[in-house]
Amino acid sequence: MSPVETNTKYDRAENHYLNEIPDEKEMSIFDHLEELRWRIFYSLIAVGVGIIGCFIFVRPIVEALQVPAQGVKFLQLAPGEYFFVSIKVAGYSGLLVASPFIVYQILLFILPGLTRGERRLLVPVMVGSTLLFGVGLVFAYYALVPAALKFFINYGEDVVEQMWSIDKYFRFVLLLLFSTALAFQIPIIQVLLGLLGIVSSQTMISGWRYIILGSVVLGAVLTPSTDPMTQSLLAGAVLGLYFGGIGVVKMLGR
């Protein structure tokens, strides 16, 4: 047998191995729905426990989120406003705390139907997505939120006294945090498109003009403020993530 035939036979065997579903078992649609119901139930319990735990310790969380607004006095403009703000902050924080368990439940649900090759792809994608989400939160907290607040404070410093509604402040901060974290998922989408053969790295880089325009629009849409500094920071981060994603796709040979 020639080396070419040997390599071809080896490649076929490897492809067959990667396309196999380990421990495959037949399940009816009702069994799948029942399993999905229990996965959702477990996830909701985790979210509930996370929200309750964060509500118990909501004061340190609120104080941490107030740090970027140095020198600003917060007002409660309606009875119970701070209480409802606390619930909102605990809800977002509880969902964030419970997200690893939710991802674990999603993995348990979809894993039995995946081939060995798909399983090799799934874990790095999930880990990368989680890391980028965390990096997005950190970037928004230490860069975007302070930049936006500094712009607004300096703009009206000599005209108005800085006293803000606590509800509107936290609505602004939480929206900016989570929208930025979601925007940081762009490289994950690129890697998936590249590995699935839908879009190549060459195609991604050929549309760089549209990406620059899209990043500016995305920065304007995702940023709850209207200041150019915050929009420029987010647009720059999106561009960096996109071209970084192209580099990863190219390294993967796609």
pLDDT at 49 over 90: yes
User: How high is the pLDDT of residue 73?
Assistant: 81
Residue 167: pLDDT band (50, 70, 90) is: confident
Residue 7: pLDDT band (50, 70, 90) is: very low
Instruction: Name the residue type at position 40.
Output: I
Residues 6+ apart with CB under 8 A from 236: 215
Strand-pair category, 73-75 with 163-165: parallel
Give CA–CA dist 127/213, Å, rounded. Answer: 29
Is pTM beyond 0.85? Reply is: no
Residue 17: pLDDT band (50, 70, 90) is: very low
pLDDT at 54 over 80: yes
DSSP 82-143: HHHHHHHHHHHHHHHHHHHHHHHHHHHHHGGG--HHHHHHHHHHHHHHHHHHHHHHHHIIII
User: How high is the pLDDT of residue 5?
Assistant: 47
pLDDT tens by residue, 181-224: 888 888 888 877 777 677 777 877 777 677 777 777 776 666 65
pLDDT tens by residue, 136-157: 888 888 888 888 787 777 766 6
CB atoms within 10 A of CB 96: 18
Average pLDDT taken over every residue of the chain = 77
Taking a C-beta distance cutoff of 8 angstroms, is the pair 85, 170 a contact? Answer: yes
pLDDT at 18 over 70: no
Helix (H) or strand (E) holding 163: strand 163-165
- Which range among 34-48, 98-112, 175-189, 218-232 shows the weakest confidence by mean pLDDT? 218-232
Tokens in use for 107?
């993995």
User: How high is the pLDDT of residue 55?
Assistant: 92
Give CA–CA dist 144/130, Å, rounded. Answer: 20
User: How high is the pLDDT of residue 220?
Assistant: 67
